[in-house]
Each structure stands twice: as C-alpha cells, then as structure tokens.
Structure 1
Amino acid sequence: MPSLFKRSLLPKLRSFPLTADAVTFLSGAAEFRRCLLEKIASATRRIYIVALYLQQDEAGQEILDALHAAKQARPELDVVVVVDWLRAQRGLIGAGKQPGNSAWYQEMTRTHASEVPVYGVPVQTRELFGVLHLKGFVIDDCVIYSGASLNNVYLHKFDKYRYDRYHLLQNRDLADSMQHLVQHGLVASKAVHRLDLPNLPTTRSLRNDIGDLRSRLKHAVYDTTQGTTDKSGLSVSPLLGVGKNNPLNRVICELIASAQQQLTICTPYFNLPLAVIREVNRALARGVKIDIVVGDKTANDFYIPPSEPFKVISALPYLYEISLRRFAKRHQRNIDSGQLNLHLWLDGDNTYHLKGMWIDQRYTLLTGNNLNPRAFRLDLENGLLIDDPKGELQAPRRTELAQIFQHTRRIERFQDLQTLPDYPTGVAKFLKRVSRVRIERLLYRIL
C-alpha cells in the first residue's frame, strides 16, 4: 500500500509472523481477570507485569498474592512487576493524604518468604509531565495486552467495571522482545528502583538519572531482529514511543493516512492531537467512512456526580465533551451523510477506557495510547500493530467491534451534546474562569 509520507515507517516495520489461532480476544474485564490469574498460576519460566499501577485493593491483592504464590511454588520463576514511580507513591486523587501503593508493596515483601520485586519507573520528575504508560504482560511465551491497570474496577472484581480491550498473543519472539525492553531498557536504568524495599531515594535526588533515562527512551525500540519485513501474511509489530514525533505517533498518523474505505478509532478522552485531526480530515476528504467511539462524559473515569463536592479534576469530562462538540459542529455535514459516525459509549455507571484503531480490513492497532496530546508528547507509550493482509482475523475482529458498539448511541447533531449552561455550577464556573485566562489550551495539552 503506497504511503503519503516521504519517510514512511509502515512499509519498513519489522514484524513477527503470527498464526490466527495464536491470537485470542477476551470479551470483558472479568474474563481478563480470570485469564490473568490462570496464566500466573501456570507460568513456568517468566512473569513480567507492566502497568501504570497495581492498586492496593481486593483485585490488586489477588494479583500480588498470585505472583507470590507462583514464585513460592517455583522459585526459579523470573517474576518482575514494573509500575510508574510517581503514581505508586501517592494516594488516589481526591482521597486525601495517603501513603500510596509503595507502602503496601513493602509490607508484602516483608511478610512473604517469596520475593516479587516491584520496580518504579520515573518517566519524568513530575507525574503531570509524563508517566509510564506501557502495556503488556509477558507470561512465558504469551503476551496479554490491554490498556487496563490493575485494580477492582479494571478487573471487574465487584459490581462495576472499566471497559477496555483484552488480547492474548502466543508468540515467543514477541514475548522475548517485550521482556528485553523491560529488563534492559527500564529495570537496568539507574533511575529505576525497587518500590517494595524501604528507604526509597527521593525523586529530586534522581533528577539527572531520570533525564538520562528519558533521553535513552526517546531512541529506544523493541528488538525485532528475529522478525521480518515480509508483509504477505499475518504478523505483529511492537511499537514504542515517548516525546514528539516518535515512531508510534508516526505510525498512528500513517495508518490513518493509509485508510481507503473504513477507519474506526476508540479513545476515552476526546482530545485528538493536531496531527491526528489533520489526517482524519484528509481521510474524510478522500471519502473514507470513519467511526469514532468515545465514552459519554458520565462514563469517564474522572467523572464525579454533581451531587458530590466539586473538584477540579471533575471538569475534565466536560472539557472532553466541549472538544467533541466542536469537532462534531465542524463536521456536521459528514455526520448528516453518514460518512462520519460519532458514538458515545454508556453502560450504567460503568466506565470506558478503550483505545485503538481498525484500518480498512487489514490493520488493527492495540495500544494504551489515548490519542491525545499528552500521549503524543509526554507519556511513555507502546502498541502492537497487527497486519492481516489475508483477512485471517476478520471473525474475531467483527466480534470485538460488535461488542464495543453494543452500548453506544450515535450523535445525530452536534446540538445533542451539552454546553456550558447545562453543566453543574462548579464545573461551569471553573471552565469560564480558565477560558477567560486562556489556559484551556494548556489543559488540553497536558490532560
């Protein structure tokens, strides 16, 4: 497929060949939790867990207990947990002063005979300016890929769930590549320290090491020397990116530019980077049918009901709705013709966390990238690009999309979305204030 980019990455990507039966789609968060626990219990060689956070709650405890049990049963197991350094050392937003998950990790190590090291990766010196947003668990030769972190709602431990995508890829070369990046690109860094041991260094004392790590990560790639550039069969390419114009960002834009018939985009936070907006507009201009699925503002994980006290963080879902309304208004003609379809996901009081893309009948992108300016500039992100030139995964692909669309409604007119006068008093007052002092654009860049 010809590329519209002068220095295209897409045709040059090295990939690992796959068989159709090596790719499994899981239908929900509860199944994801069961699968993860089963894989941990049956692991024989390695378990590498990489997530933004492993939360101290019932589901998090279940996961960490399972890791300790697996290590105790098979001491030769290589077990590593990697989470964001800063996120692990603070409490939940809005929950007051808390010790953070690191205190729990230390208690678990102190009270268990088995050792499960938990490493903290500082992508930046402040959480606001970048976090570890890598996804993918490596268990033996299986890669379990999801945008989910590890807590009650992401794992549907009780009544509520946070909806994400969940895939299993059985491929030793892919698993080796992802482990190698974690082991040599992250854990080996001087900036990375174990959170499950006492006497943690301060972030301030690590400033130089953190700067060095971030510089190295800007040039880091997954090892694909065991892969191929042959594009004739089903394959998967791991992608890594941090900072402006990184390879993952470039491939995302190239994928949109390559679409000829159909493009589907999922993002929980509608705040598309300018580069993505441009490619979406070009795709519409050349006649591509586009579906964009976002969460209803009440299905956003930052949403706080109006009955509760106002917090600044609760304004975020409304900011995203404002952004979506502007986009819909600009493209009302495409919405009227059916070429552009904007879908709002809502299922009771559950939340929505899906991200990824489906391009024509060929490409599927699995990623934790939120397709927003923060993901494109600040956070350390990754993704798995599945290339399916022969259509071997069309059936599970249709199944996944049908499940996603099951709880959506189409926006018929931009007026269907609320505006400032409709918002709770605290939210409206805050948004008016930030608009007056013109920091709204800055908020869109970092949140």
Structure 2
Amino acid sequence: MQIPFIKYNHRNYLNRLNKIKQQPEDYQILLSSSEYRLALLDAIANAQSRIYIVALYLERDEAGQEILAAIYAAKEKNPHLDVKIFVDWHRAQRGRIGEPKTNTNAKYYYEMKQQHPNVDIAVYGVPINRREMLGVLHLKGSIIDETVFYTGASINNVYLHKLDKYRYDRYHVINNHVLANSMIDYINHNFLSFDAVQRLDLNTHKTRKQLKSAIKSLRHHLTHANYQFVGEDTNKSLSITPIAGLGKGNQLNQVIHHMICSAKEKIIFCTPYFNLPPIIVKDIIRQLRKGKQVEIIVGDKTANDFYIPPDQKFNMIGGLPYLYEVNLRKFIERLQSYVDKEQLIIRLWKDDDNSYHLKGVWVDNEWVLITGNNINPRAWRLDLENGLLIHDPKQQLTNKFKQELKEIRVKTLLINHYQQIQASQFYPKQVQKLINRLSRIRVDRLIKRLL
C-alpha cells in the first residue's frame, strides 16, 4: 500500500506546541563563562528552597570543588533545602582520559560526604545506556529555587573559566516557576523512580552487569518521556517550551528540523562539531535553494575539546577535529556558489587555545532554541538531550539575543572560500595516516556517529 505524501506546515508544527508564558525582564543572557560561574555561586549561596544541579559531569578540580563546597555550605546554613545533583553514571566512575582510574569524580563525591557526615546531599548517576559510547546524560538545566540556569557547560575549570583557559558556551538565566517546576518534575518522575539511577556518593556501586536490565528499562522509558506542565496554546506573547529527546525521531530532533524549514528569511545555528545529521544538511540546502540565508558558526579545529596540539602525544581521539574539518571543507566546496552570493555564511570561532562549545538555532528573530544538542548524529540518536524553545513574536528579547550573537561573532573568521579551510594533505603525518586508514576501512563513518 502506498503511503500518501504529506506536506508538513513547519510553522504550524511550532505554533501548536504547548507553551509557558515568560516575562522578558525575567530572562537574562550572560556573555562569559566566568560571569556564569559567579552567578551560579551567588544563586547557590542564596538558595531558599531547592538546588538541583544537572550536568554531564561535576569534576573534582578547583571549579568542581568550589561549586560542591558552596552547595554543602548552603545546605549546612539551611538544612531544609532540597538538594540533588545528577551526572552521567559512566563518566563519574572513570578518570579523565590519560589519568588513573582511581581519581574518579564518584570517589570525590564520597570523600565530600565523609567530610560532612551530618549533611545529606545526594549525588545521582544516571546511565542512559550500558556503555558510555552508546549514550550519556546530556540533559541541561540546573534549577535553584524558581530560576533555571541553562547552559551546555558541565562543571570544571575550563567550562567555568576558573583558571587560565575557558570553553565558550551559552549561559541563560530564566526566572519562571512553571518552567522550573516542569524541569524538577521531569527529573523526579523519570530518574528517581528507576532502579538504574544510583547514588554515587556512596563507597560501593553496582556494576554495569548488575544494572543491565534496569538500564534497559530506563532507556526505553526515557524515549517516551517529556516535560509536563499546564501551559497555554498561545503564539501572541513571549513563551518557552521545554523539550526532551532520546532516540531517532524524538521531539527535540523534530523541533530543530521544523525550525530550519520554517524560516522566512534567515537561519543561524551554532555547533562545536561540524558533523551534521543528513536531514539537517538536506534542510539547509533546501532553504538555500529557496533563497533563504543560512549562517553557521562552528569552532575551528584547534578550538575543539578533542584537539591535541602538535607538540603533544597524539592518539586516535585527536583525529576527530580533523575529520570534522574535512566535513566542513567538503560542505563549503559543495555549496561555494551560495557562499559567493553571501547567502551561506560560515564563521570559524577561535581564541588562542580556548575551546568552543556553543549550540543553538535562531530563526527570523522570532524563534530561538537553546540546547545542549550538538546537532550531530550522536546527539540525534544516542544521548539524552533537551532544549528550551523560545517564541518571541513581539521581539521582546531580540536585543538580548542580538547582543549574544554579536559577542559570539567577535572571535570568528568569515570564510569566503573553501580553500581557506586547510586541506587534509597538509595535516600532520600521523593525522594523515589515521584518516587514510579509517577511510579505507570506512570506520570514520562509525566514529562520526558515536563521537
């Protein structure tokens, strides 16, 4: 039986989403990682009712210790605070690449608990799949009282610019009790009621084998879970829609697709890794053919968190930034005619040896998505992601978003021709050998889906 072709009205899809009203004066955009760190510490110190921290990881370095110490101090000052921390289960139980396995974040959480025996702060590990490579907790949004701190950043020295380097991200501070409650409810209903979610601040932990069936049940449940709230079906005022997504075809993926396809004039999007899902590449090309302008702001290969400088020991993971750059060069070469017409704008972000971690979509000064989704195949299918879709029909936040974009563009280089992107024959010898070997056996395709 032939399935009839259905022409989607992309704007109607977005308009039909349930929405939470937002006051413009309660929406703040911070412009640097150090500013975000200070704002987060201030909010923790002044918390009245609850602190929920959600991140891929909370590192045991200076920044992580500062944040966790502030949380313990807040709980000691106010014992009635509801305090919970959620991180990825796998990431917390291994050391950073190249470090001893004994120096884990989970061990640090236990040590902190031992130092404060009368303060109960639960640190939970959330396993999204049996193996880290097949899915991690990439959910964003920490809640302190009625305020949501939304960023793609995790908690460590680089993300919070505690020492000399920083990893650039987006930092949105939103005061909205309905939004905050919906995000708290999502965590409580979809994490805490499942056996797979385990305390990490204890001395012993269950093994992956012991949790095999529980992890499978949790992942199956999360593919159907989303935020619940009493919102309004309104498209006349400033609003926010929280969206979660796990697995192929999830709602967050659909929103990104429909946003790009709904544009009347211009699309802007940021991604740290140029490794777009095929559907997004098709959407971009379709919009370019219709005369729409597309601006892509991506990190230079040296601003990639996997980049290994030539003077350091090279390993396979260090080949990723080069694979992404090969993708970018081919993409620009294919669409050079649109670059020549200034219809396709490509910007490369670079600031010394700092790194770039921005994600998001802006459409026509009306729709903005802030998200942790890298807009790559891994985010599209494996990780638990979320995002906040802002609808701004009266352009009440336009100046704030323009200022954010202006700040992002400061450190970018405008690419006018694909030959400005380094060709692979000029890569270091070990990189050339790795790329040739991976391409010959087609492993590069698998790697770009998983990392």
**Bin for the TM-score computed over the shorter chain:** over 0.9
Alignment of 1:160-199 (within 5 A): 160-199=165-204
The secondary structure found in structure 2 opposite 1:182 is helix
Cα distance in structure 2, aligned partners of 1:122 and 1:5: 37
2:266 is matched with 262
Instruction: Give the 4+ runs in structure 1 shifted more than 6 A.
Output: none
CA deviations 1:41-64 (Å, max 9, x no partner) are 000001100000000000000000
**Could you tell me whether the CA contact under 8 Å between 1:9 and 1:247 is conserved in 2?**
no
2:226 is matched with 221
Cα distance in structure 2, aligned partners of 1:311 and 1:104: 28
Moved more, 376-385 or 272-281: 272-281
2:445 is matched with 441
**Could you tell me whether the CA contact under 8 Å between 1:218 and 1:243 is conserved in 2?**
yes
Give the counterpart of 1:92 among 72, 91, 96.
Answer: 96
2:377 is matched with 373
**Could you tell me whether the CA contact under 8 Å between 2:245 and 2:251 is conserved in 1?**
yes
CA deviations 1:383-440 (Å, max 9, x no partner) are 0000000110111111000000000011111111112221111111111100111111
Query: Which AA in structure 2 matches 1:303?
Result: Y
CA deviations 1:181-212 (Å, max 9, x no partner) are 11111122110010001110001110101000
2:292 is matched with 288
The secondary structure found in structure 1 opposite 2:191 is helix
Give the counterpart of 2:405 among 401, 404, 408.
Answer: 401
**Could you tell me whether the CA contact under 8 Å between 1:271 and 1:444 is conserved in 2?**
yes
Gaps of 5+ in 2: 1-6
1:300 aligns with 2:304: yes
**Could you tell me whether the CA contact under 8 Å between 2:239 and 2:390 is conserved in 1?**
yes
Cα distance in structure 2, aligned partners of 1:96 and 1:412: 45
Gaps of 5+ in 1: none
1:339 aligns with 2:343: yes
1:349 is matched with 353
* CA drift at 1:98: 3.8
1:34 aligns with 2:65: no
Moved more, 107-116 or 344-353: 107-116
The secondary structure found in structure 2 opposite 1:173 is helix
Query: Which AA in structure 1 matches 2:220?
Result: S
1:272 aligns with 2:292: no
**Could you tell me whether the CA contact under 8 Å between 2:10 and 2:261 is conserved in 1?**
no
The secondary structure found in structure 1 opposite 2:448 is helix
The secondary structure found in structure 2 opposite 1:124 is coil
- Taking a change above 3 Å as real, the CA distance of residues 210 and 5 of structure 1, as seen in their structure-2 partners, is farther
The secondary structure found in structure 2 opposite 1:275 is helix
Alignment of 1:114-133 (within 5 A): 114-133=119-138
**Could you tell me whether the CA contact under 8 Å between 1:17 and 1:236 is conserved in 2?**
yes
Query: Which AA in structure 2 matches 1:56?
Result: R
Query: Which AA in structure 2 matches 1:124?
Result: N
Instruction: Give the number of equivalent residue pairs.
Output: 444
Query: Which AA in structure 1 matches 2:61?
Result: D
The secondary structure found in structure 2 opposite 1:358 is strand
Cα distance in structure 2, aligned partners of 1:424 and 1:190: 47
Cα distance in structure 2, aligned partners of 1:99 and 1:63: 18
CA deviations 1:303-340 (Å, max 9, x no partner) are 01011111111001001100101100110000010000
1:147 aligns with 2:168: no
TM-score, length of structure 1 as denominator length: 0.98
The secondary structure found in structure 1 opposite 2:240 is strand
Give the counterpart of 1:253 among 242, 251, 257.
Answer: 257
Cα distance in structure 2, aligned partners of 1:429 and 1:96: 29
Query: Which AA in structure 2 matches 1:417?
Result: I
The secondary structure found in structure 1 opposite 2:211 is helix
Cα distance in structure 2, aligned partners of 1:5 and 1:442: 33
- Taking a change above 3 Å as real, the CA distance of residues 292 and 7 of structure 1, as seen in their structure-2 partners, is closer
1:13 aligns with 2:33: no
Query: Which AA in structure 2 matches 1:382?
Result: N
**Could you tell me whether the CA contact under 8 Å between 2:93 and 2:105 is conserved in 1?**
yes
* CA drift at 1:97: 3.5
Cα distance in structure 2, aligned partners of 1:6 and 1:28: 33
- RMSD over aligned CA atoms reads 1.2
* CA drift at 1:5: 4.7
Query: Which AA in structure 2 matches 1:14?
Result: N
- Taking a change above 3 Å as real, the CA distance of residues 371 and 44 of structure 1, as seen in their structure-2 partners, is same
1:242 aligns with 2:230: no
1:138 aligns with 2:143: yes
**Could you tell me whether the CA contact under 8 Å between 2:11 and 2:258 is conserved in 1?**
no
1:420 is matched with 424
1:431 aligns with 2:419: no
**Could you tell me whether the CA contact under 8 Å between 2:223 and 2:250 is conserved in 1?**
yes
**Could you tell me whether the CA contact under 8 Å between 1:85 and 1:122 is conserved in 2?**
yes
* CA drift at 1:135: 0.4
The secondary structure found in structure 1 opposite 2:236 is coil
Cα distance in structure 2, aligned partners of 1:55 and 1:399: 31
Cα distance in structure 1, aligned partners of 2:359 and 2:426: 28
TM-score, length of structure 2 as denominator length: 0.97
Cα distance in structure 1, aligned partners of 2:157 and 2:121: 21
Cα distance in structure 1, aligned partners of 2:303 and 2:153: 15
**Could you tell me whether the CA contact under 8 Å between 1:8 and 1:254 is conserved in 2?**
no
Give the counterpart of 2:28 among 5, 24, 33.
Answer: 24
